[in-house]
Amino acid sequence: MKSFILLFTVLFFSSCILSTAQTDSTKTEQYLKALEALQKKDTTSAVTLFKESAKKNNDAPSYFQLAKIYTASQSIQDYTKAYDYIKDAVDKDEKNVEYRLLKAFLMEELFYTGPFYKTFRTRETLLYEDIAKDNDNCEEAWFNLGRLYKEDYMKYMNSEYFDQIGDRVVLLNNIRMEPSAFYTNSPAQKARMRMRGSTSAWEMYDGFRNSLPKPALKYTRVANEVFVKSERAFLKSIDLTKNEKSFVELTELYILANQYDKGLELLKKIVSPGVDPVKFYLVSGMTNYLAGKIDLSENDYRKAFHAMSGEEREIYTNYSFKKLLRPETADSLSAKDKEFVEEYFNKYMQDNDPFLLTDYNERYLEHITRVIYTNLFLSVKRLNIDGWKSDRGEVVIRYGIPEQIRRMRAIFNGRGDQMETEVFFYPDKSFSFYDQTRRGRYVFNDPSIDGIFVSQSPESTLDSILVYRKNKPGGYVPKLMGPIFYTPFATYQFKSNVPSKTDIYISFIINPKDSSTLKDYFDSGYTAGLFLLDKNHNKITEKISNFPSLNSNMKTTINSIMINAAPREGNIAFEILRKKDNGALTYHDSFKVNNYSGNDLSMSDLVLCFDVGHSEFPSYIKRTNTYLLPNPSNFYASNMPLFIYYELNNLSLSSNNNTDFEQKITIQKKEEGGVVNSILSVVGLDKEGKKVSLTSNYQTQEKDPQMYLQLDMTKYEPGEYIITVSIKDNVTGNEVSSKTEIKWQ
């Protein structure tokens, strides 16, 4: 026999073992020689001598040593031999804790090898309970009880059991149809039916689901019971030895139960983890993230990555990242070197960073959290299943931690086994998985599977995932430190005084009467940022401004931010972060910077305003000598003043050195498409800023006049309107126009 390093020599060494007397202290000559052979790492001779001792003396120590030797080989065949030997040892010495701990360990290992040992896990739990009952200070027993009960909690939470599943039949158009009739199409056809919401397909699906009997038993009570048992066992383990693993495992239990604060309070007791710092910081970071403490999670993840090996880090970045991509993209990356994939990963995360006002990337943290979740809760180590590689793991990495997980227990009715099934629910989709082994080997659901095993879900995830991978490979809803709110905002572009640049303003309005933007939320002030990015999401320019608290509980607050940039196509981001509660507004979209740098006739955006004039007030936008208070909501009631402001560029001069142009204003009902009024009077500004009364045709000495007008819409019906201002240069015949929308009440 190959010589093995006896890992289990120290596996069960603890205070509870030290306190246990050796009931069979007889050391035979063969036994002593066997120990000596072990010291010399001559395992073959040791096994022979231990067997001779056991055969001659039927002694428990020899059986125990043989069990440890075969356990160390970590093969199924040797585990079976080890279990036979440890069973004999326990039969000879029933109170020996060391023997019983090894027996419990082997029972769990064998449970995962096949159905012959399907009762071993339950018996293992009972054995640990007996050990803890007889030896209250045995930390190993308490730790393993906590771990096993935590696994049970995962199985029983949101778990259901259906009676008479074998009698499922659907009546469709008075025709009796077995569930498999729904799956007669090809995989591609079935997936397409789901993606386009085929009526007939969904009618069959809904009819099938409605035909199911209601759950005969829900396991809420059982889940609550095993939760309490697991928590109690881990706390006992912590009380006995301050076992770091118990701190981490108990925190995982709290994560499953959404009790994040209890987990964080527990982890605070460990100042500097020493047993497994990587897992400690990953679990701590995940708990902080799920609790909304995003900044703390980033710090924890950084510590975990610092303690990781390079290969392990790649699991959380380069390797798992490919699960987010379309199959053809992932395949192409597989042929690239590490540096290329890493750069691609970083670029993806940069492009999808939802909030630029923070120092960290929330999308990156979300990805790391998803991978941690899969590895903590979807891995089955004894089956060599890494969570991030599994089918369930792929769905979590692509679409996030499910909002709800529904578990259907296995059923045996004599006609076929109803496999354990899990369904992951998302707002717009769901994914089913089944487990033929009943030990955690979940795969994409295939209801048409033949044989003794029958799926409990009619959804063919095996088909639908093919379409989702191609058409919607990933999903992400930003998770920020505080609540997400919305407030109206608008962008305006003008020709800049800086050569070849464009002035870009973003104005926003905060209504303290709105429940999401109450004055109290802004008591500590707030920060607003305007970011201009290129097509690759690299920052071109940015402006970040801090604003004080709101002045009034009743009056709206209007503020603006301005940047100037060269004409280009790219992306824009506008964000607000409240300092009091970390409430956030985030808007990211594609954006085109207008080009006003040429000599052609051009026109700025139209700005709907509450006021336009020559007096300077806080929050007003200054354009040369004109000040305007924009209304970014574009909402007006009859008691509100309504102004329109815009700027013209490069009007041509006539022979008498005046401009000559025509202005036409149309107001159009948005849903009707018909013009309801046109040709309104306007007021323009000359070089000195004096008002000049104009109608539709007028002349001025300014080639780049600033224009504003006041509209009276009191006779209009409430609704949404499109306002268009059209300009014709009568000198050259060139025309230009700009439009905006208004919500009139």
Q: How confident is the model over 90-120, as pLDDT tens digits? A: 999 999 999 999 999 999 999 988 888 989 9
Residue 722 lies inside a defined structural domain of this protein = yes
Domain final position from 561, 592, 623: 592
pLDDT of residue 682: 44
Residues 497 and 545 in one domain: yes
* Mode of pairing for the β-strands spanning 659-669 and 643-649: unpaired
Place of tokens 């849903």: 671
Torsion of CA 622, 627, 630, 636, to 10 degrees: 180
pLDDT for 353-363, tens place per residue? 999 999 999 99
Alpha-carbon distance 164 to 188, whole Å? 31
User: How many domains does the chain divide into?
Assistant: 5
Average confidence (pLDDT) over 585-609: 97
* CA 380 and chain centroid, separation: 22
Q: What percent of the chain has pLDDT over 90?
A: 73
- The single-letter DSSP state of residue 456 is S
Handedness of CA 210, 212, 217, 218 (dihedral sign): negative
pLDDT of 451: 61
> Which domain does 17 fall in, by range?
7-137
Question: Residue 380 falls within a domain, yes or no?
Answer: yes
Confidence band for 553, pLDDT divided at 50, 70 and 90: confident
Token reading at 271: 């100042």
Residue 569 domain flag: yes
Residues 233, 145 contacting (CB under 8 angstroms):
yes
Distance CA 160, CA 422 (A): 10
* DSSP assignment letter at 214: P
Q: Do 191 and 74 fall into the same domain?
A: no
Q: 59: which DSSP letter?
A: -
Regarding whether 607 and 579 lie in a shared domain, the answer is no
Question: For position 523, which CATH number holds?
Answer: 2.60.40.2150
Which tops the pLDDT comparison, 136 or 164?
136
> Is 401 a member of any domain?
no
Q: Are residues 668 and 575 in the same domain?
A: no
Q: How far apart are CA 71 and CA 321, in angstroms?
A: 37
State yes or no: pLDDT of 197 exceeds 80.
no
Average pLDDT, whole number, for the chain? 87
Question: If pLDDT is split at 50, 70 and 90, which confidence band does 467 have?
Answer: very high
* pLDDT tens for each residue of 59-74: 999 999 999 999 998 8
Is position 632 within any domain? yes
pLDDT score recorded for residue 207: 56
Cβ atoms within 10 Å, residue 669: 16
pLDDT in tens, 674-730: 444 443 444 444 444 433 234 578 788 999 999 999 998 888 889 999 999 999 999
Q: Which H helix or E strand runs over 104?
A: helix 97-111
CA 579/CA 525 separation, integer angstroms: 6
Based on the domain organization, do 206 and 176 belong to the same domain? yes
**Amino acid identity at 166:** G
We report the CATH number of the domain holding residue 31 as 1.25.40.10
DSSP characters for 305-327? HHHS-HHHHHIIIIIHHGGGS-H
Q: How far apart are CA 713 and CA 642, in angstroms?
A: 8
- Looking at the chain, the whole-number percentage of residues with pLDDT higher than 70 is 84
Q: What is the pLDDT of residue 300?
A: 98
Are 611 and 738 in the same domain? Answer: yes
Question: How many Cβ atoms are within 10 Å of 213's Cβ, its own excluded?
Answer: 11
Which band of pLDDT confidence, cut at 50, 70 and 90, is reported for residue 6?
very low
Residue 447 confidence (pLDDT): 83
- Picking from 495, 472, 481, the residue whose alpha carbon sits closest to that of residue 399 is 472
Decide if 117 is inside a domain. Answer: yes
3 state DSSP class of 571: strand
pLDDT tier for residue 430 given thresholds of 50, 70 and 90: very high
Question: Among 589, 641, 579, which residue's Cα sits nearest to residue 610?
Answer: 641
Q: Among 259-268, 414-423, 609-618, name the most confident range.
A: 259-268
pLDDT at 188 over 80: no
Per-residue confidence (pLDDT) for residue 57, from 0 to 100: 92
Work out the average pLDDT over 519-548. 96
Domain boundary among 592, 609, 637: 592
Strand 643-649 and strand 602-603: the pairing is antiparallel
- Co-location of 565 and 603 in the same domain: no
| pTM (two decimals) | 0.83
The residues facing 502 across adjacent strands are: 495, 565
Q: Are residues 92 and 128 in the same domain?
A: yes
Residue 25 clears pLDDT 70, i.e. is over it: no
- How far, in Å, CA of 117 to CA of 121, rounded? 8
Last residue of a domain, one of 592, 626, 652: 592
Q: 174 or 325: which carries more pLDDT confidence?
A: 325
- pLDDT over 90 at 459, yes or no: no
If asked whether residues 19 and 94 sit together in one domain, one would say: yes
pLDDT digits (tens, 9 = 90+) for 650-681: 999 998 999 999 999 988 888 754 444 443 44
Specify whether 375 is located in the same domain as 227: yes
Residue 429 pLDDT: 93
d(CA 656, CA 698): 14
Are residues 583 and 564 part of one domain? Answer: yes
The alpha-helical segments, DSSP class H, found in 172-243 are 187-195, 199-211, 220-241
- Do 561 and 621 lie in one domain? The reply is no
Q: Token match 């199985």: residue? A: 155
Residues 6+ apart with CB under 8 A from 714: 638
CATH of the domain at 674: 2.60.40.10
The pLDDT value recorded for residue 415 is: 55
Cβ contact 571:614 at 8 Å: no
Identify whether the C-beta of residue 531 lies closer than 8 Å to the C-beta of residue 590: no
Whether residue 260 is contained in a domain is answered as: yes
Asked if 405 and 423 touch (Cβ cutoff 8 Å), the reply is yes
The conformational region for residue 434 under phi > 0 = left, psi -120 to 50 = alpha, else beta, is beta
Q: Residue 370: how many CA atoms within 13 Å on its side-chain side?
A: 31
Opening angle at CA 248, ends 243 and 250, nearest 5: 95
Phi, psi of 472 (to 5 degrees): -145, 75
Residue 304 forms part of a structural domain: yes
Identify which has the larger pLDDT, 392 or 222: 392
pLDDT greater than 90 at residue 196: no
Q: Is the pLDDT of residue 402 over 80?
A: yes
Residue 413 confidence class, pLDDT cut points 50, 70, 90: low
DSSP tag of 343:
H
Residue of 139, 134, 146 whose CA lies nearest to 14:
139
More confident residue, 223 or 212: 223
pLDDT of residue 176: 38
What is the spatial distance between Cα 685 and Cα 211, in angstroms, rounded to a whole number?
Answer: 74
The two structure tokens encoding residue 519: 């004055």
Distance CA 142, CA 160 (A): 29
pLDDT tens digits along 371-396: 999 999 999 998 899 999 999 999 99
> Which residues, including other chains, have CB under 8 Å from residue 342's CB and lie 6 or more apart?
317, 318
